[in-house]
Amino acid sequence: MTWLLVIVAAYAAGMFPSAILVARAVGVDITSVGSGNPGAANITRNLGWKRGAWVFALDAAKGALGAGVGLAVDGRSLAYLAGAAAILGHCYPVTRGFKGGKGVATGGGVFAVLTPFVFVVLVPTWVIISKATKTAALASLIVLCAIPVGVWATGRELWEIPSSIGIAVLIALRHVSNIQRMQRGSELRL
């Protein structure tokens, strides 16, 4: 029962509409501009890096909260499940017709708790790739591929590798439209 409560609470925290609220504060409906995605990259493209950084931090906090509570209540297994629930809440919020963000920042928050060293390495990696390519989705996909490698390299338990792959795939699936646009050469630039 405790696990269920933690997972439901993590999903609910994941639904907190960071990007929508940050954009609304300056009179913008972020779901109707740019890609329409309520996430840090779309905020950055349309409202600047400062607001994009705020959204990244708020979205990452949702994942960190879910994973952190799971870790405190019953260890790493629950932390992974609660972290995944927070990502699901962000990507598929029941309060907004299951239309949410891509989950990159929220997933980052999950791994900030589970593997802080990997998080510290991959955040600047994302920044460098996104600045070099001007494409947030490409940077995100590369970082997603690196997460399980980082989990393995830091010597975590064997079951954490497929668990981290599962979370990375969950987030990558939200990027199918980005991949299609990159193939066509029409992906939005940062």
Using one digit for the tens of pLDDT, what is the confidence trace for 159-173? 999 999 999 999 999
Between CA 47 and CA 68, with CA 49 as vertex, the angle to 5 degrees is: 110
In a domain, 163, yes or no: yes
For helices 40-47 and 136-153, the axis angle rounded to 10 degrees is 140
- The pLDDT value recorded for residue 189 is 87
> Alpha-carbon torsion 37, 71, 144, 41, what sign?
positive
Local confidence band at 25 (pLDDT 50, 70, 90 cut-offs)? very high
Task: Count other Cβ atoms within 10 Å, centred on residue 99.
Answer: 12
79-105 average pLDDT score: 97
CA gap 40, 42 in Å, rounded: 6
Percent of the chain with pLDDT over 90: 95
Expressed as residue numbers, the domain containing 89 is 2-184
SS3 79: helix
Quote the percentage of the chain above a pLDDT of 70: 100
135 in a domain, yes or no? yes
Residue 62 lies in a domain: yes
Do the domain assignments include residue 189? no
pLDDT of residue 1: 83
Helix (H) or strand (E) holding 104: helix 104-114
Exposed e or buried b for every residue in 31-50, given b needs 16+ CB within 10 A? beebbebbbbbbbbbbbeee
- Confirm whether 43 is domain-assigned: yes
Domain membership of residue 25 (yes or no) is yes
Residue 161 belongs to a domain: yes
User: Model-level pTM?
Assistant: 0.95
Q: What span, in angstroms and rounded, lies between the C-alpha atoms of 64 and 78? A: 13
- Number of domains composing the chain: 1
Q: How much is the pLDDT for 69?
A: 98
Closest CA to 107 of 80, 131, 136: 80
